[in-house]
Amino acid sequence: MEQGQSSSLFEMNFSQESRSHLAETASWARFLAICGIIFIGLLIVGGILISLAFTRTASRYGSYNNFGAETAGLGAGMIVMYILMGLLYFFPCLFTLQFANKMKDALASNDSLMLSESFRSLKKTFRYMGVLTIIGLAFFVLALVTGGLSALMF
Amino acid sequence: MEQNQDQSLFDMNMDSTTQSHLLSISKWTKFISITGFVVGGLFIILLAALGSEIISKFSAIFSFGDANMAGALIAIVLVVLLVMGCWLFFLFRASTLLKKGVQSRDTAQLAEGFKAMRIYFIFSFIISLLSMLSTLQSFA
- Chain B residues in contact with A100 by the CB 8 A cut-off are none
- Rounded Cα distance, A63 and B43, in Å: 47
- Chain A residues in contact with B97 by the CB 8 A cut-off are none
* Residue B13: strand, helix, or coil: strand
**H helix or E strand, kind and range, residue A12:** strand A12-14
Q: What is the mean pLDDT of each run of 10 residues along chain B (140 residues)?
A: 45 81 96 95 86 71 62 81 93 96 90 96 91 76
Give the one of A10, A43, A119 whose C-beta lies nearest to B22's C-beta: A119
On the 0-12 / 13-18 / 19+ scale of CB atoms within 10 A, B61 is: exposed
Q: How far is A128 from chain B (nearest CA, A)?
A: 9
pLDDT digits (tens, 9 = 90+) for B58-93: 666 666 556 566 677 778 888 888 999 999 999 999
What pLDDT does residue A7 have? 45
What does each of the 154 residues of chain A score in pLDDT, given as a tens digit? 444 444 444 456 778 889 999 999 999 999 999 999 999 998 888 888 888 887 777 666 655 555 556 666 777 788 888 889 999 999 999 999 999 999 999 999 988 899 999 999 999 999 999 999 999 999 988 998 898 888 777 6
> Amino acid identity of B39?
V
Q: How far is A140 from chain B (nearest CA, A)?
A: 10
On the 0-12 / 13-18 / 19+ scale of CB atoms within 10 A, B117 is: buried
Q: What is the ipTM of this complex?
A: 0.81
* Residue B83: strand, helix, or coil: helix
Question: Considering only CB atoms, which residues of chain B are within 8 Å of chain A?
Answer: 4-8, 10-19, 21-22, 24-25, 28-29, 31-32, 35, 102, 105, 107-108, 110-111, 114-115, 117-118, 121-122, 124-125, 128-129, 132, 135-136, 139
Q: Return the biggest CA–CA distance within chain A.
A: 79
Contact B59, B88 (CB under 8 A): no
> What is the DSSP-derived secondary structure letter of residue B10?
T
Range list of H helices, chain A: 16-61, 67-109, 112-153
Contact B15 A129 (CB under 8 A): no
Q: How far is A127 from chain B (nearest CA, A)?
A: 6
What pLDDT does residue A103 have? 95
Q: Which residues contact A121 (CB under 8 A, 6 or more apart)?
A: A95, A96, A98, A99, A102
The residue of chain B with its CA nearest to that of A121 is B21
- Rounded Cα distance, A120 and A115, in Å: 9
What pLDDT does residue B2 have? 46
What pLDDT does residue B78 have? 84
- Chain B residues in contact with A109 by the CB 8 A cut-off are none
What pLDDT does residue A148 have? 82
